[in-house]
């Protein structure tokens, strides 16, 4: 039986309650998550300054030895360079720059082509360094300890500003999964990931796992198998095998715009899951934040139900 998808008369009130809950959490905990990330980012930027001898040496060899330094260098220019802007200016590729920002070098490029791409990138970065943030560059001297720290905090703030939303979203997801874990452990469930070779419908009753990759086929006709991550996978205690576990996607949002941009993601997941595991798949959302009637109506039309975080006890209606 549907839990919330068939009750549009309750959606507005639930949305208001969910928005209030998200905002209360945000005011109390989001600044802490941001500060912790900022502190770590400052340390990373200071390390980057050391690796480039305070930005006096920005060469292909430096980036080859420390590819993850690229985001710091992008935020050290005037104006700060978004990833796509750097790709355009350096006539590089999204894959090449993306690999560097993940802390690794592209594996399939020849050494000559690698140096060519890195040379173009380092020339752009060196030319556009922000002299106001790094005054020692113009004056051709070593920075003081205070100047180095001040510059690192400015660059760290730029980096954190660019990823503020993911920082908050990741902190909120951790909190949501912790709530689900608390609910389950209080009812005797055990956190136990199934063996990689275990079929989904053979997962041990009374166990649950987080961020599990589930194997699916995009359609019944395709032979290709792909992995899709599921935030929480729970096999009810009373399940008699073979039995498909309950699949839950934790979602939070701090505004209405982004959720409606991203609402197709869940529709694709449930399509893949049903194509692979049949129509009996139980796939629900665990929502907190800005989810309006447009979003909820779309998900309901796609056959997706949800549980509100402010009514976590509704998990019982899934047989948990």
Q: Are residues 75 and 133 in the same domain?
A: yes
Among 140, 164, 188, give the residue marking a domain's end: 164
pLDDT confidence tier of residue 315, bands split at 50, 70 and 90: very high
Residue 3 lies in a domain: no
Q: Are residues 300 and 257 in the same domain?
A: yes
Q: Are residues 155 and 207 in the same domain?
A: no
Give the pLDDT confidence of 147-183 residue by residue, as tens digits.
999 899 999 988 887 777 777 888 889 999 999 999 9
Residue 304 lies in a domain: yes
* Residue 149, token pair as written in the block: 């720290």
Domain span at 156: 38-164
Does the pLDDT of residue 276 top 90, yes or no? no
Q: Mean pLDDT throughout 29-51?
A: 87
Count of domains for the chain: 2
Q: Cα(27)–Cα(43) distance, rounded to whole angstroms?
A: 26
Q: Are residues 176 and 279 in the same domain?
A: yes
DSSP 8-state class, residue 281: -
Q: Are residues 204 and 310 in the same domain?
A: yes
Q: Are residues 118 and 182 in the same domain?
A: no
Q: Are residues 281 and 218 in the same domain?
A: yes
Residue 43 lies in a domain: yes
Q: Are residues 189 and 274 in the same domain?
A: yes
Tell me, rounded to whole angstroms, the distance of Cα 164 from its chain centroid: 11
Give the Å distances, CA to CA, from 187 to 184, 296, 307, 310, 320: 5, 29, 18, 19, 8
Residue 44 lies in a domain: yes
Backbone angles phi, psi at 210, to 5 degrees: -110, 150
Tell me, rounded to whole angstroms, the distance of Cα 268 from its chain centroid: 18
Give the pLDDT confidence of 63-88 residue by residue, as tens digits.
999 999 999 999 999 999 989 999 99
Does the pLDDT of residue 292 top 80, yes or no? yes
Contact between 283 and 269 (Cβ < 8 Å): yes
Among 164, 190, 205, give the residue marking a domain's end: 164
Residue 2 lies in a domain: no
The residues, any chain, with a CB within 8 Å of residue 71's CB and separated by 6 or more, are: 101, 159
Query: What is the predicted pLDDT for the residue at 220?
Result: 67
Give the Å distances, CA to CA, from 108 to 62, 105, 315: 20, 9, 48
DSSP 8-state class, residue 246: E
Determine what percent of the chain is predicted with pLDDT higher than 90. 62
What's this model's pTM, rounded to 2 decimal places? Answer: 0.71
Q: Are residues 155 and 181 in the same domain?
A: no
Lowest mean pLDDT among 145-154, 220-229, 244-253: 220-229
Give me the CATH number covering residue 297.
3.40.1350
CB-side exposure of 6: number of CA atoms within 13 Å?
Answer: 3
Tell me, rounded to whole angstroms, the distance of Cα 237 from its chain centroid: 31
Residue 303 lies in a domain: yes
DSSP 8-state class, residue 283: E
CB-side exposure of 156: number of CA atoms within 13 Å?
Answer: 22
Q: Are residues 13 and 55 in the same domain?
A: no
Backbone angles phi, psi at 306, to 5 degrees: -150, 160
Contact between 288 and 308 (Cβ < 8 Å): yes
* Residue 163, token pair as written in the block: 């990823």
CA angle (311 as vertex; 310, 312 as ends), nearest 5:
100
Q: Are residues 250 and 227 in the same domain?
A: yes
Q: Are residues 309 and 179 in the same domain?
A: yes
């Amino acid at each position: 039986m549907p839990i919330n998808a068939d009750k549009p008369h309750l959606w507005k009130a639930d949305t208001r309650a969910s928005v209030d809950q998200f905002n209360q959490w945000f005011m109390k905990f989001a600044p802490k998550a941001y500060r912790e990330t900022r502190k770590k980012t400052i340390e990373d930027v200071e390390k980057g300054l050391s690796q480039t001898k305070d930005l006096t040496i920005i060469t292909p060899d430096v980036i080859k030895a420390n590819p993850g330094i690229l985001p710091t260098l992008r935020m050290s220019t005037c104006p700060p360079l978004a990833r796509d802007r750097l790709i355009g200016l350096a006539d590089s590729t999204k894959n090449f720059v993306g690999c560097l920002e993940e802390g690794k070098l592209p594996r399939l490029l020849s050494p000559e082509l690698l140096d060519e791409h890195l040379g173009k990138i380092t020339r752009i970065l060196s030319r556009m360094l922000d002299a106001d943030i790094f005054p020692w560059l113009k004056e051709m001297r070593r920075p003081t300890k205070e100047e180095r720290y001040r510059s690192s905090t400015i660059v760290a703030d730029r980096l954190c500003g660019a990823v503020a939303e993911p920082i908050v979203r990741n902190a909120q997801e951790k909190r949501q999964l912790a709530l689900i874990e608390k609910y389950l452990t209080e009812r005797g469930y055990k956190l136990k990931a199934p063996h990689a070779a275990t079929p989904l419908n053979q997962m041990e009753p009374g166990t649950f796992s987080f961020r599990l990759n589930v194997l699916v086929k995009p359609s019944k006709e395709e032979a290709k198998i792909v992995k899709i991550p599921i935030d929480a996978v729970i096999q009810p205690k009373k399940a008699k095998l073979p039995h498909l576990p309950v699949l839950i996607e934790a979602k939070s949002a701090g505004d209405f715009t982004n959720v409606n941009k991203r609402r197709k993601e869940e529709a694709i997941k449930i399509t893949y899951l049903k194509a692979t595991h049949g129509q009996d798949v139980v796939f629900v959302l665990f929502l907190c934040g800005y989810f309006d009637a447009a979003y909820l109506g779309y998900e309901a039309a796609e056959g997706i139900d949800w549980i509100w975080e402010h009514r976590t006890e509704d998990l019982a209606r899934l047989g948990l």
